[in-house]
Amino acid sequence: MLEHAPVGMALFEAQTLRLLSANPSYQALFEPTWREGQAIGHGLRDLLPEAVQAEVIALFEHVIQTGAAQEAQAYRTFSPTGGVRYWNWTLSPLVEEEQVCLVLVTITKVTATVLAHQEAERMQAALTQTTDAVARERQRLADRETILLSLRQVSEPTVLAQSVLSALGGCFSPSMAALYSTHAEPGSLSLLGTHTPIRVSAEPALFPAPLSSGQHPDLLQAMQSSAPIVMKRAEGKDQTKAQEWWWSVPETQCVIALPLWEKRCEGVLVLALRTEEAANELLNTLGECAPHLAEALASACLHAELSNEKQRLHTILDQLPEGVLLVEARTSKISYANPAAAHLLGLRLLQLLGTPLNQSALLSPYGRSKLVQRSVFQWNFALIDALWGKRSSSQELFIPRPDGSEVTVLSSAAPIRLHHGLISEAVIVFQDITALKRLEQHKNEFFAMANHELRTPLTIILGYSELLQMSAPSDGASMQQYALNSITHECQHLLRLIGDLLDVSRLEQAQLEVQKQKHDVLMIVGNLVSTFMETTSTHKLSLRLQEIEPHEPLLGWVDLPRLEQIVSNLTTNAIKYSPGGGKVEIGVRPVRDGQGMAQEVMIWVKDEGIGIATSDLPYLFERFYRAKKIDRSISGFGIGLYLTKELVQAHGGRIWVESTKGEGSTFFVQLPLGEPQEAILARK
């Protein structure tokens, strides 16, 4: 029966613990020494390895003494080859006359089960470990996310500090957290915010003023290093005064000072912790967040600096007597207006802010006078142009106010660009010139009237002097003749000057007009030169014709008296600014098209006089400009060239000069000869 049993079975004599019988499965236990029945008859001591003898014999004796069966689960044995085997044992007493005489040993090999169980346990342990690691990692990521999310509020450094510190408080429950910035003063730290759990009431005062070196060396050392500084409470050991301060924060065992570096150290984050162990885990997470914290801190500080700067700028602009308006490119709405702007436009400041660009000068220009409409459109376009990068300056505009009054302003507009060139805003600056304009108008009116009043007596004097010249006896004293000639000449000169002044005042009032008619330009210039030749004995005048015959007509649309005025002004100057005896050349050249038709005429006046310095050239055609170093005894108002330029431009032509100091000058005038557009339209 034992032989065929699937489990190992053996019978031991209770008295001697000798093996009486065993099936092959059991005998396999004793491989190889006791195989094939050789174990039968031997005692337990012989059969068992020494290491387990005492333990197994004790089990047998317990069964024999108590008569109660014993079990041993997953009993471990070693095979001769060193392998481990596991067995389940049962020792059952066989009792005869109340005495245990035999012990039946049943063994079941459970190696596979035990090994599988052990493997399962190992795997379970590994799984638990992995799950813990995943949970820790998840927590770390969650903490990281919480901290990074708290950086979204970057508007202001102290707001950012509160947001970050309370996120850190939620994640790590420190006994105290504080954030310092390096932005206050170079090389120092200033406190931006603190966080302490509510139950810690005895919070020591942190350092709100900027810290300089020596005050808190730990923090300043952290600021200079790029790695975090970890301070641990070392009881009984020497502590610096500064470190003692940290331990006065209740429940604190460890303090971390983490420098926040981006391109430079932006600040230091301080966390007081309740355990030293918490520091390692925390440093991992914080290490990853530090660059982001630094970046957010830098951007918040920059933002604060910018808004301070903006505030400062607005305070300055608010004090200006000129109106200043800023229009935001993104919205095309007014983003800033100073009180002067509101006052000039006749609106309240709050009314102006946020108003769309096209309503900044007036809600609707329609139904207003043409002048006002044009001004409002010019105003709007100046701002639109500025948003497209174009500047405009010194525009005179009439701005209507809601109360019906009008102001005249001188305005300039320009784009405001960010550092990378993008236009962020347009600015328009305008000043009230209403009073100035009124004054100017009075002046012009007076000027025109004075002109008229001066001209009348002068014309009479000139008339009489010419009469006297004509009626003077041919044999009259040469002195008398000379005096009459001089009176006539000077009167004519004075009349020309008064005429020029009148023209300038007309120009200022935009009343000067040219009336073009068909004339022979060559004849006009030729006649004028002849008159000059008759009256000028001091200089050698000549007419030079290029690419045209002397009697060939050069027909064009010009204003005859105005063309005479142009050539006359230039010739007078050429004579005036040349020493006596000098040559003056007046030239004419038609500018022809492909068919040989004269489309334009070029007229030049060349002298060999004092010339013009290069530094004077750009200003020559300005009103009242006279060359810096000319002899002030040469009379003049500095309006001749200004007027000449205006007349040339009114003809649609252009004027320029080539001159070298001391070597004479040549003034060129190029005029179109074609019929004016209005005349063509009128004829049609």
Q: Which stretch binds ligand ADP (CB under 6 A): 35-43, 375-383, 515-523, 631-639?
A: 631-639
> Measured from the CB atom, is 218 or 616 closer to ligand ADP?
616
* Least gap, CB of 616 to ligand ADP (angstroms): 7
Q: In the set 627, 647, 648, 669, which binds ligand ADP (CB under 6 A)? A: 627
Query: What would the x/- binding string for ligand ADP be over residues 585 to 624, using CB under 6 A?
Result: ----------------------x-xxxx-------x----
Residue 519 contacts residue 555 (beta carbons within 8 Å):
yes
The CB-nearest residue to ligand ADP is: 636
Q: Does 665 bind ligand ADP (CB under 6 A)?
A: yes
Give the whole-angstrom CA distance, residue 290 versus residue 273: 18
Return d(Cα 540, Cα 490) in angstroms, integer. 21
Interaction of residue 574 with ligand ADP, rule CB under 6 A: yes
Beta strands in 546-622 (DSSP E): 555-558, 583-592, 598-607
Nearest distance in Å: CB 583, ligand ADP: 12
Check residue 641 for interaction with ligand ADP (CB under 6 A). Answer: yes
Nearer to ligand ADP (CB atom), residue 325 or residue 620? 620
Shortest separation between residue 514's beta carbon and ligand ADP, angstroms:
19
Give the H or E element holding residue 155: none
CA distance 358 to 384: 9
Assess contact for 178 and 252: CB atoms under 8 A.
Answer: no
Q: What's the closest the beta carbon of residue 391 comes to ligand ADP, in angstroms?
A: 29
The reply to whether 584 sits near ligand ADP by the rule CB under 6 A is no
Nearer to ligand ADP, 183 or 539 (CB): 539
DSSP character string of 93-137:
EEEETTEEEEEEEEEEE-HHHHHHHHHHHHHHHHHHHHHHHHHHH
Q: Is 636 in the site for ligand ADP (CB under 6 A)?
A: yes
For 184-262, where are the alpha helices, taking DSSP H only?
217-224, 241-247
Asked if 668 is part of the footprint of ligand ADP (rule: CB under 6 A), the reply reads: no
* 390 contacts 415 by C-beta, under 8 angstroms: yes
Residue of 72, 349, 602, 630 interacting with ligand ADP (CB under 6 A) = 630
- H/E stretch holding 26 reads helix 24-27
Query: Does 626 help bind ligand ADP (rule: CB under 6 A)?
Result: yes
CA-to-CA dists, residue 300 to 54, 148, 417, 546, 680, angstroms: 78, 14, 22, 74, 67
Is residue 502 at the binding interface for ligand ADP, with CB under 6 A as the rule? no
**25 HSE (CA, 13 A, CB side):** 16
Please identify, among the stretches 40-48, 414-422, 471-479, 569-577, the one whose residues bind ligand ADP according to the rule CB under 6 A.
569-577
Total site size for ligand ADP, rule CB under 6 A: 21
User: What six digits make up the tokens of 663?
Assistant: 């070597």
**CB-nearer residue toward ligand ADP: 69 or 634:** 634
Residue choice 573, 648, 655, 669 for contact with ligand ADP (CB under 6 A): 573
Q: Shortest approach of ligand ADP to residue 417 CB, angstroms? A: 39
Which is closer to ligand ADP, CB of 559 or CB of 607?
Answer: 607
Query: Residue 126 phi/psi, 5° resolution?
Result: -65, -40
Under the criterion CB under 6 A, does residue 639 sit at the interface with ligand ADP?
Answer: yes
Q: Does 640 bind ligand ADP (CB under 6 A)?
A: yes
- The DSSP bridge partners found for residue 12 are 19, 103
**Closer Cβ to ligand ADP, 233 or 623, answer by number:** 623
Long-range contacts of 599-603 (CB under 8 A, 24+ apart): 599/672, 599/673, 599/674, 600/653, 600/670, 600/671, 600/672, 600/673, 601/521, 601/554, 601/556, 601/670, 601/671, 601/673, 602/668, 602/669, 602/670, 603/525, 603/566, 603/567, 603/668, 603/669, 603/670, 603/671
Residue from 163, 642, 647, 655 in contact with ligand ADP (CB under 6 A): 642
Contact residues for ligand ADP (CB under 6 A)?
573-574, 577, 607, 609-612, 620, 625-627, 630, 636-642, 665
